[in-house]
Amino acid sequence: MKRSIPLFAAALLLVGLVLLAGPPSGADATAEVRKVVLIAGPPSHASGEHEFNAGAILLARALNEQSGLPIEVEVVHNGWPEDESVFDGVDAIVIYADGMGRHPANNKWEFLDGLMAEGVGLMCMHYAVHVPIGDEGAYFQRWIGGYYKDNHSVNPHWAADTVPHETHPVGNGVAPVKVHDEWYFNMSFNEPATHEDLLVATPTYERIRQYIHWNRPGQDALGTPQTLMWGVQREDGGRGVGFTGGHWHYNWAVEDYRRMVLNAIVWVAGLEVPEEGVKSLPLTEEDLNANLDEKPEMRHVALPGDHLFEFEPAAPRVID
Q: Where are the domains of the chain?
A: 31-287+303-309
Q: Does domain 31-287+303-309 have CATH number 3.10.129.10?
A: no
- At 192-251, the pLDDT tens digits run 999 999 999 999 999 999 999 999 999 999 999 999 999 999 999 999 999 999 999 999
pLDDT (0 to 100) of residue 30: 56
Sorted by sequence, the CB contacts under 8 Å of residue 154 that are 6+ apart come out as 184, 185, 186, 212, 213, 214, 215, 217, 218, 219, 221
Residue 31's pLDDT band, with cuts at 50, 70 and 90, is confident
d(CA 165, CA 87): 31
Peptide bond before residue 225 is cis, with ω within 30 degrees of 0: no
Q: What is the mean pLDDT of residues 118-147?
A: 98
Sorted by sequence, the CB contacts under 8 Å of residue 183 that are 6+ apart come out as 155, 156, 157, 158, 160, 201, 203, 226, 228, 244, 245
**Percent above pLDDT 90 for the chain:** 90
Band (17; pLDDT cuts 50, 70, 90): very low
